Amino acid sequence: MRKRKIRKAILKRFKFTKRGKILRRATGLDHYLAKKSGKKRRQKRKWVKLSKWETKKIKKLVGG
Protein backbone atom coordinates (compact mmCIF):
# COMPACT_ATOMS: atom_id res chain seq x y z
CA MET A 1 0.00 0.00 0.00
CA ARG A 2 1.31 3.42 -0.97
CA LYS A 3 1.96 6.08 1.59
CA ARG A 4 -0.47 9.01 1.33
CA LYS A 5 1.02 12.31 0.23
CA ILE A 6 0.29 15.39 2.28
CA ARG A 7 0.11 18.94 0.98
CA LYS A 8 3.31 20.63 2.13
CA ALA A 9 2.00 24.10 1.22
CA ILE A 10 -0.84 23.70 3.73
CA LEU A 11 1.55 22.71 6.50
CA LYS A 12 3.50 25.92 5.88
CA ARG A 13 0.46 28.20 5.93
CA PHE A 14 -1.45 26.87 8.92
CA LYS A 15 -0.71 26.08 12.57
CA PHE A 16 -2.14 22.88 14.04
CA THR A 17 -2.81 22.85 17.79
CA LYS A 18 -2.70 19.71 19.91
CA ARG A 19 -6.45 19.90 20.49
CA GLY A 20 -7.21 19.77 16.78
CA LYS A 21 -7.78 23.45 16.07
CA ILE A 22 -6.28 25.02 12.97
CA LEU A 23 -5.03 28.60 12.92
CA ARG A 24 -4.29 30.90 9.98
CA ARG A 25 -2.81 34.36 9.58
CA ALA A 26 -5.18 37.34 9.39
CA THR A 27 -5.73 38.77 5.93
CA GLY A 28 -4.92 42.28 4.75
CA LEU A 29 -1.34 42.79 5.92
CA ASP A 30 0.42 42.83 2.55
CA HIS A 31 -0.12 46.41 1.39
CA TYR A 32 -2.31 49.50 1.88
CA LEU A 33 -1.19 49.69 5.49
CA ALA A 34 -0.77 53.49 5.61
CA LYS A 35 -4.52 54.04 5.75
CA LYS A 36 -5.04 51.46 8.50
CA SER A 37 -4.76 52.46 12.14
CA GLY A 38 -2.03 51.09 14.36
CA LYS A 39 -4.61 49.17 16.37
CA LYS A 40 -5.86 47.36 13.25
CA ARG A 41 -2.31 46.51 12.17
CA ARG A 42 -1.49 45.07 15.58
CA GLN A 43 -4.68 43.00 15.62
CA LYS A 44 -3.90 41.54 12.20
CA ARG A 45 -0.55 40.15 13.39
CA LYS A 46 -2.36 37.54 15.46
CA TRP A 47 -3.41 34.04 14.41
CA VAL A 48 -7.10 33.48 13.60
CA LYS A 49 -9.05 30.28 14.28
CA LEU A 50 -10.68 28.62 11.28
CA SER A 51 -14.38 27.82 11.19
CA LYS A 52 -15.58 24.22 11.55
CA TRP A 53 -16.18 23.57 7.85
CA GLU A 54 -12.82 25.11 6.90
CA THR A 55 -11.08 22.99 9.51
CA LYS A 56 -12.70 19.89 8.07
CA LYS A 57 -11.48 20.73 4.55
CA ILE A 58 -7.91 21.44 5.65
CA LYS A 59 -7.69 18.25 7.71
CA LYS A 60 -8.84 16.27 4.69
CA LEU A 61 -6.10 17.77 2.53
CA VAL A 62 -3.43 17.10 5.14
CA GLY A 63 -4.62 13.56 5.60
CA GLY A 64 -5.59 13.65 9.24
Whether 51 has a pLDDT exceeding 90, the answer reads yes
pLDDT band with cut points at 50, 70 and 90 for residue 6: confident
What whole-number distance in Å separates Cα of residue 62 and Cα of residue 11?
8
Contact 6, 62 (CB under 8 A): yes
Strand order in the sheet with 15-16: 15-16, 22-25, 47-49
pTM, full prediction: 0.79
What pLDDT is attached to residue 3? Answer: 81
Number of Cα atoms under 13 Å in the Cβ half of residue 36: 14
What pLDDT is attached to residue 64? Answer: 66
**pLDDT tens-digit map of 20-49:** 899 999 999 999 999 999 999 999 999 999
What whole-number distance in Å separates Cα of residue 12 and Cα of residue 36?
27
